[in-house]
Chain A
Amino acid sequence: GAVVSQHPSWVICKSGTSVKIECRSLDFQATTMFWYRQFPKQSLMLMATSNEGSKATYEQGVEKDKFLINHASLTLSTLTVTSAHPEDSSFYICSFSGLNTEAFFGQGTRLTVV
């Protein structure tokens, strides 16, 4: 299956700072990547769809100015959490899934904002 590499795997940052999470497709080209967020003991919630060379599409209720997504190449998508606050602490996961394939997930990033 496709390999998706995400890093960092965990990060601790101070409130008010920004954090960038990278998601790379190692053995395929991804025109579309997906970003999910998972709070403790909850399900994965789709945050946005990252489109190579164009603006990301955000799900309802997700602040696009707070969660900046950049998909500048076919192998790299980034999620930047700007002006992070403790309530942004969560597990962030990227994935690739084709139109008729299973999803391939990155390892996830545990963000803790203190």
Chain B
Amino acid sequence: AQSVSQHNHHVILSEAASLELGCNYSYGGTVNLFWYVQYPGQHLQLLLKYFSGDPLVKGIKGFEAEFIKSKFSFNLRKPSVQWSDTAEYFCAVNEANTGKLIFGQGTTLQVKP
């Protein structure tokens, strides 16, 4: 069965520090890849997505992610985090021929001011 694994469960950073959250998936076919963010008390918001083309994807709020097919990875990065980036981050994979999303376990990011 397809699965998504996020390696970092809880990350604590100081403002201006760089961020990288790992995401690996297990599926041999064509996939679409996503990162979602959930701010405290709010609903899911799409950060960025990859369907095809340039494997380096830029999203909102300065986030980017790189798809490395050989490593089945789609890591999220941000050069300099802000206190407002404190949230839960979810990596998700969409099988290209089914449409259903499989989510990773989520990573709680806490940014200290």
Contact = CB atoms under 8 A, between A and B. Distances in A.
B100 interface: yes
B101 A95 contact: yes
- Dominant SS at the B interface? strand
Nearest to A59: B100
- Dominant SS at the A interface? strand
Nearest to B101: A103
Contact of A46 (B88, B97, B101): B101
Interface of A: 32, 34, 36, 41-46, 49, 93, 95, 97-103, 105, 107-108
29 contacts: A32-B99, A34-B99, A34-B100, A36-B103, A43-B90, A43-B103, A44-B44, A44-B90, A44-B101, A44-B103, A46-B100, A46-B101, A46-B102, A46-B103, A93-B43, A93-B44, A97-B94, A97-B99, A98-B99, A100-B32, A100-B96, A102-B32, A102-B34, A102-B49, A103-B46, A103-B92, A103-B94, A103-B101, A107-B43
